[in-house]
Structure 1
């Protein structure tokens, strides 16, 4: 009966959560996904069109199609992460397979020879904007312990409200503190009943100073993070060809977000005289929500060989819901601490993330039926990202921090295709600058790609390989760990796509 009651209590827990810059970046950046042809040319399709995933760059691209068609693409995602933490090297690999693109376009040629509109196109396309499946393993011997995390939250918090009341279960107190006092006080509660910290004066309810129960010069730590989920995009597109050389289009984009993050932390190796010899601290976050954006674009044929493209991608407005669970244990933990586990759920108020708008300029040179070269440049000012509602004081502070830490992201994509009879050879290169002003917290991203296409007349088979690499400084926890883990991520995708002309 006790577990049933605490689960219901968990459903009623509402509080201001700890959304931050990491959440904003998670949903502001998209992996280069899409059709195999699109990836094989590094996504440089802003002035080309004629590909379902090119609609993500320039919505005018659907009216480039000569006929109606349907495309489906499957992908194998291979994530390889190497982390360096106090000189120790950890490695983790994650593979997953998914349908990352599915869509079709209907092309209607004008029957009125006097109309300047030559044709219109209606398209609907699903793309996996971002695949969150990933794993990172970190270990090392350092001088920063988990007690710092709890001390940073606890110092300044009165001890009295943290205590369990007569007749109250420990898990009820945990949820009640989170709902009525906040995340900071809830972490202080966990640190105290987890045995990690104590108030300086336990007899004083007004005590606001705390000390660690752990003694160490260095500690051994292991940290594992697994993420799952996706940010998918459903695009509804309309475009038209005006006279012979101008294509104009617009798209409505509907996002669906599902994100799970599980972290496991173990700390040992304390001094022989320390009352604490081990600490386990695990966290679980689940985010669900939806988003909306729109895009506008145009492609101009300057002559038979040269095309120019330009597009505007509006901000994306995400409405998200989080729930979190935690569990902790140590040598000095309260005997009832096990009742605080992943069945005890903190639910939070709905919040909004507004990602920045994006501008893209494109140039393509087409060498008749033999081949082409294409170049895209994208501009996005990440300092304009926001957490909402703006009336929330914690969001206001975090938005100021975001504006100071993040800057302009410049994206360069170049791709080429060469046709030999019914076979197309493709290649591409992509560079995306760091979203951080310091250029280090998350580094620049570089990617190369290659592809093959086989045209069977009424259908086409495409194969692509892409490899991207990026370095980042990853904090194990939001506070108390000044030395980050240095993570090198190599993301390799292999894609197979099939296109059927209708």
Structure 2
């Protein structure tokens, strides 16, 4: 895991308060295999074959293959499962739901049989490009390393120290009315950009203490009375709706060109709870008391974006059914708003007015501290370019084969402030932690009789995260959800069937995704701090899709 010094963390305090992370951005930038059941059943490997509305979002030239009008809709039922294994403690969580996945139409406009330009086609398609629905749980003892208890509180103390150091060394014209040292007890501290919420809430919740023995007034220490028994829970909801508008051209039935304008609507919600409990303490009345705290984070990212997709399909040999497809997608340019709030509740033995230690509950609520509102941060996100190459081959009217390769470099993601200035910290983290992703798609369709189709497909995608990727928060970050997962390569298997009537058609498909990830509720390997062992997570998603359509 990479190391980050305290000064490197602190130097960004002079910029606007951090909010979004590379994990949020990657979650939004990545798409999943979805669309019509024919498209899904063939693993999405239809970029060169075309003739399906869902190719509007992979290779726009695929709409140029149409010679008749088409209208369809798709709905599905998904079953998402997560199995976590933290040092032998296993948890399984599931989330099932219905979804409306696709609706679109194609208008095929014939120009002539003997003109070079044979068809000009228009298409529109809506589909759910990403579903965020997922639950996750882990639990276990955090342990200790080199006589240091592993705890999220260390992250709180480190951030408090970093922010205080940066505040003390700030330019003289920044906050001239607030003295030399950062005051974490200020009621309005959450409204300013100089202090991170994690460290501030830790201090106000009595989990982070000022080091009064140090000559440096900017040093803060964690309060960790014993080994922590940790519990983590997260619930993710929402999705990305994609709307594609297409125009495509058929030239001599050999060359096909298309362009698609894509519009995106993002709504991502995440709730997370992280809880630590410490050793038992006996009182005279025989009751058992336990110290600990819980930190709840409420996050939402919403907004919109757009991109352009350009594609071409050509038959290099006039009498051969071989087709070659090429496509390029511009980055998606998002304008997003990150909304967050947090609630920390601590139960600690603190001295009362008489000087005796009693179990005291302290609540720190950013919603109340901000006057009854959550914090909003606007930002812009630019996703990677996408490059796509595909092959298609047909054998008579009975067999269609497709293969597709796609590449996108997630280290090229860019974050910007609303005014257009680059967010150096977040963009730098993308370059440090992310890498290029290659996706292979294979698909086949076989018709034992003209009206009935059997389909199968396979996808393989490499990991987007480098092995040493971490969720590093700048010292003034308003993020309080410290958890992150480094997903590994993903495999997708698909099957499908279809039946064609005279004008109507009905298709059914099944999709199974599986990938593993390394999960951490927090990361502390900064300046020699200690980090919990990896939680091994297996993620699966099964989905059944059904499409009804009509060609006319």
- TM-score in terms of structure 1 length: 0.89
The aligned counterpart of 1:139 is 139
Q: 1:108-162 CA distances to partner (integer Å, 9 max, x unpaired)?
A: 1114x55311011100100111001111111111222221121121124449543
1:337 aligned to which of 345, 356, 363: 363
The aligned counterpart of 2:34 is 33
The aligned counterpart of 1:213 is 223
1:371 aligned to which of 394, 399, 412: 399
Unaligned residue ranges in structure 1 (runs of 5+) = 1-13, 166-172
The aligned counterpart of 1:381 is 409
Task: Compute the displacement of 1:201 (Å).
Answer: 2.1
The aligned counterpart of 1:9 is none
Unaligned residue ranges in structure 2 (runs of 5+) = 1-14, 144-149, 165-179, 283-287, 351-359, 470-485, 525-529
2:44/2:441 contact within 8 Å kept: yes
The aligned counterpart of 1:475 is 520
The 5 Å alignment of 1:314-329 reads 314-329=330-345
2:209 aligned to which of 198, 201, 212: 198
Tell me the SS of whatever aligns to 1:449. Answer: strand
The aligned counterpart of 2:271 is 262
Q: Does 1:452 align with 2:497?
A: yes
In structure 2, C-alpha distance between the alignment counterparts of 1:299 and 1:375, rounded to whole Å: 13
The 5 Å alignment of 1:72-151 reads 72-111=73-112, 114-143=114-143, 144-151=150-157
Q: 1:367-401 CA distances to partner (integer Å, 9 max, x unpaired)?
A: 11111111001111221111114999993133223
Q: Does 1:305 align with 2:306?
A: no
Tell me the SS of whatever aligns to 2:17. Answer: coil
In structure 1, C-alpha distance between the alignment counterparts of 2:212 and 2:308, rounded to whole Å: 57
2:70/2:105 contact within 8 Å kept: yes
Pair 183,87 (structure 1): closer, same or farther in 2 beyond 3 Å: farther
2:335/2:379 contact within 8 Å kept: yes
2:163/2:195 contact within 8 Å kept: no
In structure 2, C-alpha distance between the alignment counterparts of 1:340 and 1:20, rounded to whole Å: 20
In structure 1, C-alpha distance between the alignment counterparts of 2:392 and 2:362, rounded to whole Å: 66
Q: Does 1:429 align with 2:474?
A: no
Task: Compute the displacement of 1:235 (Å).
Answer: 0.2
Tell me the SS of whatever aligns to 1:436. Answer: coil
1:34/1:127 contact within 8 Å kept: yes
2:379/2:415 contact within 8 Å kept: yes
In structure 1, C-alpha distance between the alignment counterparts of 2:109 and 2:138, rounded to whole Å: 55
In structure 1, C-alpha distance between the alignment counterparts of 2:491 and 2:130, rounded to whole Å: 17
- TM-score in terms of structure 2 length: 0.81
| Aligned-residue RMSD, C-alpha | 2.6
The aligned counterpart of 1:498 is 548
In structure 1, C-alpha distance between the alignment counterparts of 2:533 and 2:83, rounded to whole Å: 16
Alignment coverage as a number of residue pairs: 476
Pair 411,279 (structure 1): closer, same or farther in 2 beyond 3 Å: same
In structure 1, C-alpha distance between the alignment counterparts of 2:135 and 2:489, rounded to whole Å: 20
Q: Does 1:404 align with 2:425?
A: no
In structure 1, C-alpha distance between the alignment counterparts of 2:64 and 2:444, rounded to whole Å: 21
